Structure 1
Amino acid sequence: MNQPAGSPPTTPTPRIRTIFLPAGRITLHDRRTRRSWPVELAPYRLAAFPVTQDLYAQVTGERPSTTHADRLPVEGVSWWDAVRFCNALSHREGRTPAYELPAPNEEAESSPIWNTAANGYRLPTEAEWEYACRAGTTGPHYGPLDEIAWYRDNARERPQEVGGKRPNSWGLYDMLGNVWDWCWDVYDAEVYGNYRVLRGGGWFDEHWSVRASARRRSHPTFRVEDVGFRLACNADH
C-alpha cells in the first residue's frame, strides 16, 4: 500500500545513543545582566550527537535543512519543530511524550506543558546543556577549540557531519560549534517575551561565540540555518 505523501516513513528509526549524566550543580551566568544563578540537577541522559537530517527525516518525512546529507545535523528547525519532533519520536518508540502541545495556531504566544515524569524525549534545560558541555571543566572550552568544534575558522562556511571532532570527556560530540542547540528555557521573559535559549555556537560563528557559557536567543517560531537541537530524557529511561 502506498504511504501518504509527507507522512513519516515506517522503517525503524536508528537507536538513539544517550549518555548517562550524574546529578550535579552548575552556576549559569548572563553577561548582559551580569546575573549568576546556581542550579541543582538530578541525573539525566543526553544524546551523544545532535539530531541528524537522516533521523529527522525518518521521523517526520521532512528535510528542512539548507545543505543536505544524512549525517549532517538537522538545522533550519524552529523550537516548536524540535518539541514536536521529541513527541513524535517518543510515540514511535512507545514512550510517554514529554510535552502536551497546544493547537498549531496557538504556538506563537503559548508554551507546551512539560510532564517532567514522562519517559519521552525532550529538549535539555539550559542548565543541563551547560553542565553536559563542560563535563567537569571550568574554562570556555572542554578542549582546544579546533579539535572539538566546527566554527568559522575551520568549517568552510557550512555545517559538517556530526561526530567529526573530538568529544568531551563524557562522550558528547559537537557540544560546541556546528549548530546551535535549542534549549527548553525562556531566555528573559520580562525583556524578550517567550524567546528561547540557544547554546553552543555554530559553524559560522567566531571563536568568542563558541563557548560553554555563551547564551543567545531566538523566537520559538523562527527557523535559522545554523540552529538545530539535541535530545534529552530522564535518567531511568
Structure 2
Amino acid sequence: MRLILFVIALALLLRGYEWVSHDYRMPWTPLSLAAPIGPFTTRKIDALADDTPRCHRLLEEAAIDYSPLPPVEAGANCGYDNGVSLSQDQPRDIAYNPAAKTTCPMAVSLVLWEKQIVRAAALRHLDTTVEAITTFGSYSCRRIGGGQTGNFSEHATANAIDIAAFRLADGRTVSVAGHWNADDERSRFLKEVRDGACTLFATTLSPDYNKAHADHLHLDQAPRGGYQYCR
C-alpha cells in the first residue's frame, strides 16, 4: 500500500514539475511568440536587449518577416545597435505605414500586441481585421516632450513607437485623434488595444494621459524591471 501511495505521489510531483517548468506564466519559462502574454512577459522582453541573436531567433521561429537595420550612432543619448524593420508586405498579418523601425525587443512586443490584442479587439468590436497600422514613427533623437532640457525619450533609442490609426480590411480607418471619444465600437476598440498594451509594454500613454497624446498611443519598453506605467 505504501508503495502504491509513493508511486502516486511521485507521479503527481513529476506532473507538477512538468507544468511549472513549461507554464508560460513562470518567470523561468523561455519567451515564445506563440504563448499568451503572462505576468513576466515584459521582463522577458527586457532581457532581449542584451541578446540580439536570441531576439532575431524569436522572430524567425514565429515566421515574422523582418530585416536587421545598420547601427545608428548619434551621441551619448541617441542611436541604437539592435534595430530591425518589420516588413510592410505580406506574409505579415498587419503592415506598418511607415515601416516600423525599432529595437528588436520593441518589434517582438509589437508582434505580440498585434497577434494577441489588436486582432481579437478588431474582431470583437469591429467585426473585421486590421490590415495596416499608421504610425508617427519610432526613432527620433529628442528629449521627452521635444524640449531642450530633461530626460531623453525612449524614441531616442528606437525603443518606442507612436500609433496613430488602424486601417481595417473593410476599408474603414479608426484613428486615435478622430475616434477615441466617439463612444461607439471604434472608441471601444481603441481603448481595448490600449488596455491590452498596458499588459505588455513598459509604458503605454493615450489621450487619457495629456493633450500631447491626443492623436496617438505611445508605446515603449523602457527598462523598468517589469514595472509598467499605463494611462
Quick check: TM above 0.5? no
| Greater radius of gyration (CA) | 2
Q: Which has the higher helix share?
A: 2
Give the TM-score, by structure 1 length.
Answer: 0.29
